[in-house]
């Protein structure tokens, strides 16, 4: 879910970044300056992706570990479907007032 939203974000707001990345993979001859610029840009985008994943997945994993006594299955489900997991928890906690954890 998170990766899909990341790809949609990139497609909408930075389409040239994806095109440039695919062109750079095919490009054979690069001078040193172009190569450094390419590596810097790709490293920055990778760091932004890691932060994006951290801010989206960490709350779901924390909720799963606190509410289900560190159950590995619940933590895996929270990791894979973090958006749905947090949404389900929020509905239970604040709409239906279920004090599950």
Q: Considering its fold, how many domains does the chain have in total? A: 1
At 14 the three-state DSSP class reads: coil
Please give the average pLDDT of every successive group of 10 residues along the chain, which has 101 residues: 69 72 65 80 84 87 86 86 87 84 71
User: Model pTM?
Assistant: 0.58
Res 1: pLDDT: 61
- Does residue 100 belong to any structural domain of this protein? no
Separation CA 95–CA 30 (nearest Å): 57
Q: Which domain holds residue 84?
A: 2-95
- Does residue 74 belong to any structural domain of this protein? yes
- Does residue 43 belong to any structural domain of this protein? yes
- Does residue 11 belong to any structural domain of this protein? yes
- Does residue 59 belong to any structural domain of this protein? yes
């Amino acid at each position: 879910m998170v990766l899909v939203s990341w790809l949609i974000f990139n497609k909408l707001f930075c389409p040239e970044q994806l095109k440039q990345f695919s062109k750079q993979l095919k490009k054979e001859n690069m001078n040193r300056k172009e190569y450094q610029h390419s590596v810097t840009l790709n490293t920055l985008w990778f760091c932004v992706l890691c932060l994006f994943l951290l801010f989206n997945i960490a709350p779901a994993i924390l909720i799963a570990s606190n509410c289900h006594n560190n159950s590995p299955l619940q933590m895996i489900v929270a990791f894979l479907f973090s958006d749905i997991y947090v949404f389900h928890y929020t509905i239970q906690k604040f709409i239906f007032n279920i004090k599950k954890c």
